[in-house]
Amino acid sequence: MSDEEGIHSVKKISRAGSGGYSIYLPKKWISGWSEEQKESREVEIRKVGEHLILTPKINRRSYKGVSRGESRDELIYHVLSAYINGVDDFRIIQDGLNDMEMGEIRNTMRFLDENLSVRTEEGTIEYENRPVVTYDVSHLLPLLFEKVIEAENLAADLINDCDSNPKRCIHIMRMMHGIEKEDVNRLTLQVFRNLSMFRGPLRSFIDVNFMWSSANMLEIIGDALFGIVQVVCRCYGLDPNELQYPAEYLEGKIKEDFEVLGEAEKLRMQLVIDMREAAIMLDKAREAIISGDGRGAFEYKDEIREQVRAMESEMADGIGDFCASCQDEKIPFLPVMLMSIRAREIMYLTKSLTKRAALVYFNE
């Protein structure tokens, strides 16, 4: 059957009773089971396209370990890695963690999934999955799309008003902070976890891989959108991490002489249009991906490609006009360039997403 290299073999099936079939399983595979699994002799079967996935029945997946000197961020990734790999009972011990670090790790996990019972005390980090609700990727992925599309429209409003209405922009940025830090990241990790356990209808292994990469691309688009927020925050004299604080506090910290895009009005309008177009294109990509419409994705791919080309040309003209019209040495050139780069990144990733959808679903 298989060894460490994953060699496969071909076996014949036999008739077993009226209308049934049977197949012999290799002794080497079963000899690696736990004693509990050997005693129950039960397997779980999942259908993925034309494949049947056969695994020993695992009621709960567990992980226990001892960490030595990992930072807070490393520990968070340790826990998140266990989560997306389907671990139900997790425990890791590390001495030297202070109360603040333990609290941050605990809050991260509690917010991630309401079904996790999290405990952090005396250098021990634990979570236990309470299987109350089974998430389905077919519901999570559309929701992830909706959150990113919402953020794109908010980014258009932010770019349009960042120099004229800072109070409104504080509100917009706080909303985008919530979408990125609370919704997009959380939904992406839940998609990863459910795909690791083959939850939800899956047409093939290619479908599994594409759903994973789609969620990953959407998270990257979310990062790029939050990058626009970071540019505005820096120009306002704010720390992006402070966006969780009340709006009144943030309004009182805005610099009096802030300037984001300054006199780059032509470029500002172009960036606003680009963000609106990005939201429209991502919505089309969502429709094609959720319905498995490969031909539609193919058309959207070409449409977005032309849009990206036009955007790049207009962006170059806008930056050129802006530089030529500015006489002051203190022109906000860096924010202009950073926002332009983020806008192109968002459109390019959307094009790549539809291109992959066309490849996966064109013959469906």
| Residue range 235-259, pLDDT digits in tens | 999 999 999 999 999 999 998 888 8
CA atoms 103, 106, 111, 115: torsion sign: negative
Q: What pLDDT score does 117 carry? A: 85
E strands within 58-180?
62-66, 89-93, 116-121, 124-129
Rounded CA-CA distance 251/240 in Å is: 13
- Beta carbons within 8 Å of 150's beta carbon, 6+ residues apart: 179
Q: How confident is the model at residue 1 (pLDDT cuts 50, 70, 90)?
A: very low
**Is the same domain home to 177 and 37?**
no
Rounded CA-CA distance 357/208 in Å is: 12
- Assess if residue 90 is contained within a domain: yes
Q: Look at the chain and report how many structural domains it folds into.
A: 3
Model confidence at 171: pLDDT above 80: yes
CATH of the domain at 115: 3.30.110.140
**Is the same domain home to 291 and 309?**
yes
**Is the same domain home to 168 and 45?**
no
**Is the same domain home to 198 and 325?**
yes
pTM over 0.85: no
Rounded CA-CA distance 236/85 in Å is: 40
**Is the same domain home to 38 and 102?**
no
**Cβ atoms of 193 and 84 closer than 8 Å:** yes
**Is the same domain home to 251 and 163?**
yes
**Cβ atoms of 148 and 225 closer than 8 Å:** yes
**Is the same domain home to 199 and 307?**
yes
Q: What pLDDT score does 78 carry? A: 84
Relative to beta strand 116-121, strand 21-22 is: unpaired
**Is the same domain home to 211 and 339?**
yes
**Cβ atoms of 28 and 1 closer than 8 Å:** yes
- Assess if residue 4 is contained within a domain: no
Domain that includes residue 69, residue range? 62-129
**Is the same domain home to 246 and 102?**
no
**Is the same domain home to 236 and 144?**
yes
Model confidence at 327: pLDDT above 80: no
- Assess if residue 119 is contained within a domain: yes
- Assess if residue 5 is contained within a domain: no
